[in-house]
Structure 1
Amino acid sequence: MDFLRSKLDKIKPLFEKGGKYEKYGPAFSGIDTFLYVPNHTTKKGAHIRDGVDLKRVMITVVIAMIPTIIFGMWNIGYQNMGAGHGFWEYFMFGAVRFVPMIVVSYAVGLGIEFAYAIFRGHEVNEGYLVTGLLIPLIMPIDLPLWMLAVSVVFAVVIGKEAFGGTGMNILNPALVARAFALFSYAPYMSGNTVWVADSVADGVSGETVLGTLAANGQPSFSVYDMFMGFIPGSVGETSVLMILIGAAILLFTGIGSWRIMLSTLLGGAVMGLIFNAFGSTTNELINFPWWKHLIVGGFAFGLVFMATDPVTAAQTAKGKWIYGFLIGIFAILIRVVNPTLPEGMMMAILLMNVFAPTIDHYVVQGNIKKRKKRLVKVNA
């Protein structure tokens, strides 16, 4: 690594102010700080001694997603090929189909990020390190790559850069990409065939648990299958166990908000219990046990990796409780009552992304009023 460091230091003056390639300085800086910890320090104002920068935070989130990625690629092979094959056969089958999605996502997304950085003359934003991996994780495995690319362009340009880049966007970019794909290429985003890529096994059905319930059918998968992830679905959402491992990493490192995770879980449970209390003879999603709602579909993945996005989530402690609880409520509500969207987590999070600033505003205003009342009592 010393060799690489010396080479970067040698060409660095070419990209600094007055250098031959000054225009491309932001792109060089982005590569340099991605490989090495930045050596610049603050010159004024408050100084916080911390060895973690934004890129390291993003890398930690990526590491937390690795268990879901590995299992997801295996599960692609398992869902397509059926029983009777080895781990590596399943894994390679999935890798051949999933890795190109990652490559396209990063190539298109980072290309736009670098172009915006050069055009605006600022450093490359780090946020796409996570977004670029989240997008393929929440897409159907057989989504044509060009559709994925168009969705990425829309998410980065309209969902992120239009607001000013990383830290300024009001909507989760990965969910913006999925929403765009859902409404633009609906036949490729729903149904019982999109979750199983060019199946080579006879009689393989790609219908998800929620899709079966939405059609008033009964899923054939056991609770064990649902929890472990031996079911059809997008690459990242099927295995609750792998998602919990990722959640543990985020909570241990202090990156993920336990308040949002717990309140989202509680909100989903409450809404599920309400529906179970009423019951239905025409809608099996209403009768589906409340606790099973929490382990199928994108609920767990959205709870851990989407709802906790520090940019688009509520920022105040009380606001996080409200924000997460409402996500859980709306996720199950949309899932049950909307026949065209048996999965409601995406819409719930995007909806609460919009209202997160409002929630924080009223929480802050409430605190201010309480302090004014205490001040009046003290002065009385």
Structure 2
Amino acid sequence: LLFPMTLPPTIPLWQVAIGISFGVVIGKEIFGGTGRNILNPALTGRAFLFFAYPGNMSGDPVWIAVSKVKETVVDTVSSATPLAIVKLVESGDRIESVLSNADYTFLTLLTGRYPGSIGATSALLCFMGAGLLILAGIASFRIVVGGVVGVLSMGLLLNLLAGESTAAWFSLNPLYHLVMGGAAFGIAYMATDPVSAPGMNGARWIYGFCIGVLTVLIRVFNPAFPEGVMLAILFMNLFSPLFDYFTIKVRLKKRIVNV
């Protein structure tokens, strides 16, 4: 169910079928099936589509409609996504002002009234859903809180390093990192996957924090991938067993010392 929510509404259905098949077979079954996969299957499928069919996953052709019909009834108005606009902002300009001039205020970004993937635009609804999952005992609040803290911490650190000649991303308000793109959706629903995430509580804090930090770093230092949460989660999935291993090792050392 999460896989189609990460896709743009204009993607061909046959590509959706290929993507979910790749995610299930390569991201799940090849590791032994349900409960044994180390990668998030939904994000594995999305990553495959992102690199195999980039023209249908992101960019202006996906979000900006071009019609050759001169006389037509306007049903909706399309525009570039906030992340696509931010990528074009030059050094010395304020991203917040550029977004506001494009009618992307903070409230608009928070509520999700802008072009984006089907289920990933409204940060407010994403975190509300995360709260319900946490109350139901399905998701770990440690991963969610760790991810949010990681995003805000990295954003604040970049603010401190910002100068006149640095990229505009450096001076962006850290809260904007949470409400733009799929950061909120990824932290709330993808990072909390109980199979691919660490099982130890201490490891979950580190896992979530690293996802938040990597999301911001990929956005700022790699303009080719303005949406960094997908790669951040998949990369941290690979380190989940290692986080658990060292967490258990530290706990065992404490027990030995106390004996």
TM-score by length of 1: 0.61
Residue 229 in 1 paired to residue 97 in 2? no
**Superposed CA RMSD:** 1.8
Instruction: Measure, in 2, the Cα distance between the counterparts of 1:312 and 1:351.
Output: 11
Answer yes or no: is the 8 Å Cα contact 1:316–1:360 preserved in 2: yes
By how many angstroms is 1:208 displaced?
Answer: 1.2
My pick for the range that moved more, 292-301 or 217-226, is 217-226
**AA in 2 matched with 1:283:** A
Deviation at 1:287, TM superposition (A): 2.1
Q: Residue 174 in 1 paired to residue 58 in 2?
A: no
TM-score of the two chains, using structure 2 as the length reference: 0.89
Contact 2:63/2:78, CA 8 A, preserved across alignment: no
Q: What stretches of structure 2 of length at least 5 have no aligned partner?
A: 68-72, 91-97
Indicate the SS of the match to 2:254: helix
2:28 partner letter: K
1:354 and 2:238 matched: yes
Compared CA separation, residues 137 and 321, structure 1 to 2 (3 A): same
Cα displacement (A) at 1:195? 3.4
Letter in 2 for 1:152: I
Q: What is the letter of the counterpart of residue 193 of structure 2?
A: D
The residue number in structure 1 matching 2:137 is: 254
CA offsets 1:9-38 (integer angstroms, 9 cap, x no match): xxxxxxxxxxxxxxxxxxxxxxxxxxxxxx
Residue correspondence of structure 1 range 240-319 to structure 2 within 5 A: 240-280=123-163, 281=165, 283-319=167-203
**Does 2:206 align with 1:206?**
no
Please state how far the C-alpha of 1:193 moved relative to its aligned partner.
2.9
* Deviation (angstroms), 1:144: 1.1
SS at match of 2:62: coil
**Equivalent pair of 1:141/1:195 in contact (CA under 8 Å):** no
AA of the residue aligned to 2:131: A
**Distance apart, 1:151 and its partner CA:** 0.9
Q: Which has the higher contact order (CA 8 A, sep 6+)?
A: 2
CA–CA distance in 1 between the matches of 2:31 and 2:75? 48
Q: Which residue of 1 aligns with 2:93?
A: none
Match of 1:5 in 2: none
Distance in 2 (alpha carbons) for counterparts of 1:195 and 1:163: 36
